[in-house]
Amino acid sequence: MSLLGNLIWLIFGGLITAIEYFVASFFLMITIIGIPFGLQTLKLGLLALWPFSQRVVPSSSNGGCLSTIMNIIWILVGGIWISATHLIFGVLLAITIIGIPFARQHFKLAGLALTPFGYRVE
């Protein structure tokens, strides 16, 4: 079931979303300051590429204060807008019965897009 869900996800926008995350990750990694943020967008891109059967869990090596500071910077710079976009798509997809599994994936992406530091994808 997850293979079918992932294939449908890729056809209807998942591939485009993942490519956008990968391009953003590339441009963030050009600068030394942007490397940690580029790694997080890479993580979001991989999850956007194949979201079904993957979970977002807290990292075992919690970054502590540094993760909190990086999450605050992330939210202020653009994380709130990325998360809001996923929430809007999730609400629109949740209206239909067929779109509910895809809405759940958008909600998962929205949570990770808001605070990506301190979490890992399994």
DSSP β-bridge partners for residue 120: 57
Q: Report, as an integer, the average pLDDT of 17-42.
A: 91
Q: Report, as an integer, the average pLDDT of 49-63.
A: 82
Q: What is the DSSP letter of 14?
A: I
Q: For residue 57, how far is the Cα from the chain centroid?
A: 13
- pLDDT score at 67: 85
Calpha distance 113→4 (Å, rounded): 24
Using the predicted structure, report yes or no on whether residue 42 has a pLDDT greater than 90.
yes
Using the predicted structure, report yes or no on whether residue 62 has a pLDDT greater than 70.
no
- What is the value of pTM for the model shown? 0.84
Using the predicted structure, report yes or no on whether residue 60 has a pLDDT greater than 80.
no
- pLDDT score at 66: 84
pLDDT tens, position by position, 92-110: 989 999 989 999 999 999 9
